[in-house]
Chains A and B, each alone.
Chain A
Amino acid sequence: EAGVAQSPRYKIIEKRQSVAFWCNPISGHATLYWYQQILGQGPKLLIQFQNNGVVDDSQLPKDRFSAERLKGVDSTLKIQPAKLEDSAVYLCASSFVGQETQYFGPGTRLLVL
């Protein structure tokens, strides 16, 4: 079974530029999560979708971050404009509805200069 796919794996941008990350969850997983993992910390949830609806975006910095999951499958996370403190690994995870176990993708490592 294919796992959670993410791209790109690495991205280097300058501050104030924009960047987008893509995630394709495991087939059949209706719930999708985006986490931010800053160096030396555990992952922190940014946004959670169930199908194409937002379940929790309470920790998403909405002035610069946005995310969508238009068809209830793939998802994109965008940062515009990026700040130095956005340097982190952005992880996508997915799960079946009603299932507690989340499966993680390889992440996108972002460096903002």
Chain B
Amino acid sequence: AQSVSQHNHHVILSEAASLELGCNYSYGGTVNLFWYVQYPGQHLQLLLKYFSGDPLVKGIKGFEAEFIKSKFSFNLRKPSVQWSDTAEYFCAVNQNFGNEKLTFGTGTRLTIIP
């Protein structure tokens, strides 16, 4: 069974700091990788996704993530965070078969201090 690990449970940063959130998955086959974000009081929204091709993917709001197959990792990055990035971030994976269920990590709560 596949699993997803997010090692940072709560990250606190000041505005303009750089961000990197870790995500590791366990599955030997071909996978699709996602980062979802949940802003306070809002529903889960897709931030970015990787299916194939360039392992560096860019998403909305200046976020990017890099797929490193050898490390089973898909870390999320942003060079300069804003107060509005305060949210919970979930990494998720599914098998590349089409309409496969998502397996989520436990999430990382990000708090940005103005």
Interface residues of A (CB under 8 A from B): 3-4, 31, 33, 35, 40-45, 48, 50, 55-56, 91, 93, 95, 97-107
Chain B residues in 8 Å Cβ range of A44: 104
Chain B interface bracket (under 10, 10 to 19, 20 to 34, 35 or more): 20 to 34
Check if A56 sits within 8 Å of B101, measured CB to CB. Answer: yes
Which partner residue on chain B sits nearest A95 by CB separation? B99
Question: When chains A and B are docked, how far (Å) is the Cα of A103 from the Cα of B45?
Answer: 7
Question: When chains A and B are docked, how far (Å) is the Cα of A91 from the Cα of B92?
Answer: 15
Interface residues of B (CB under 8 A from A): 4, 32, 34, 36, 42-46, 49, 51, 90, 92, 94, 96, 98-107
Q: What is the CB-to-nearest-CB distance from B93 to chain A, in angstroms, rounded to a whole number?
A: 11
Check if B106 sits within 8 Å of A99, measured CB to CB. Answer: no
Check if B98 sits within 8 Å of A100, measured CB to CB. Answer: yes
Which partner residue on chain B sits nearest A4 by CB separation? B43
Which partner residue on chain B sits nearest A102 by CB separation? B102
Check if B99 sits within 8 Å of A99, measured CB to CB. Answer: yes
Given the known interface contacts A100-B49, A101-B46, A105-B43, the answer about A45 and B98 at a Cβ–Cβ threshold of 8 Å is no
Check if B51 sits within 8 Å of A42, measured CB to CB. Answer: no
5 tightest Cβ-Cβ pairs between the two chains A and B: A42-B104, A104-B44, A45-B101, A106-B43, A98-B98
